[in-house]
Structure 1
């Protein structure tokens, strides 16, 4: 049995991303950078959430199909190591889907309808029909994703804690309903996942709004040095005249400095900006260098996979095999405790 299959659940970390397009530096600083750190300390499961993406892109499946491999290259380029973490595709682990259905049997619908993110998406995507079972039940699928691996630590930002709380409630309800049926006495089959709070990316978009590929204000991972320079030099600034004192806290460029520049540089930039002594173009140049230096090794790590895409298939195949072994073990336990094993009894009752 693989070491990860037999690893104590106390050390298991689970996270995932939906394949909805190219990843940008906001994704790196908001999630991937942390994943690369966690994989050296924990048993990590990183999932490509293609079925979750279907909840809103059910009529745009080409986006998902085209994004899966590109996103995987971005993960590997960022430093996610398939030798240290299990990387797999959600839809290739059928046990998770069955587990979600079984958990859904006892999940009250109002729990799902009251999740803030559910209401926000409904309001934000008004032009799309999201009155679907898949969209409503997505939090149950997310719970199954986590609970299939009995992961106890989930890296999330503050805005995702509510989803994780619901996953914990689903696990708690399942244990309360069926735990007393355990042959060894009352027993929790599904552990309570706990948030491993991570800092949100402090990077705004190039225009000062939220960085998003759909807004056209992002710097994508693996960008060339020339494109990085072009993007940074075109960033919005908080003033037009160098001789007018500026407000660095209102400037997207300074927010990039807080992420990419040493404290001494940030202090120097802030003082020079407030005194009106710093040209905005000069302020941007160190960022060009820092972002380029960050991206150079990513482009290098991506090269073998771009040259030989079959390597990606090998990584996913191996990761899916590991994931299935663990998820199927959990599903067997769940089916057993729910009375779905249907073993033949030693004796059948006589007919009346």
Structure 2
């Protein structure tokens, strides 16, 4: 029997691009592919995890997939319920100090002019673990890069503000909102969620509760002997390796729960939320969903932008992370740790593609070159099934 080319590609990536990986494809709501390869870890700092095989229940640090799985989904529900409107302005307690408050749609489209990223855990701020109010104040004081609607700047800062805005609207913590309004209604409790640093008691390697793939090892030897500036905040947690604690360093300042990062989950859980974007989001009236899907997947009008509301869209050149395998209507997102989700609403497809890896183990230092090649290859092979 001829070997499955996607199985072969995942096995080739394991131990090279990432210690292990999971790929999953749905079409018309039916499972077309679920494949795993490799182990949870590869570096000696991970101990016995180097011998534990990845399986379909392995949870990965989803990084910026949090922006769409949690924040964008919760915003869409809130819009459908009339709690928020896309032209609402960011409330005064959160609005940047250097101009008019950005609109909800501008924040979702990364068109509010906010800076892409600042290392608030490092100098000159040097914020510590669980200092969310100090981070919000620092974001408000950070100068914008440009006026709203003039160009797209992919901004973690905007989604951190969106996360807090949701908390103000619902008067609930963001992790509780995600659990109550997304994970639990979809039957995903335990398969996906935030891991609040100050409250987490679950051992990340407990195989009875879906093991978690570790991410970065904080060892100067991996950087030619040079100590990296992000080690300091990790040392306050006693971490030589990120395992069950969010990899995003700014998210540590938010106690592991941010609008931009913090979710851990399985491939099946990620796919289930992707499928809900096609079929109907929980807590959204069925008759409202088609309009909501159309609006949130509508391309931004900002010149040169590929953004939608929360999601990204296809590269006009036909390349990008999907390798041109999906329709122009498709939308999705990537995560720094080596994760991706793409959703194709075209009637001929109605597909969901998921790829989860921990490509930042043991180090973030390869600039992601391997994952950039792997993503389009996996999406092409999934689309062919």
Q: TM-score range by the shorter chain?
A: under 0.3
TM-score after normalising by structure 1:
0.21
Larger Rg: 1
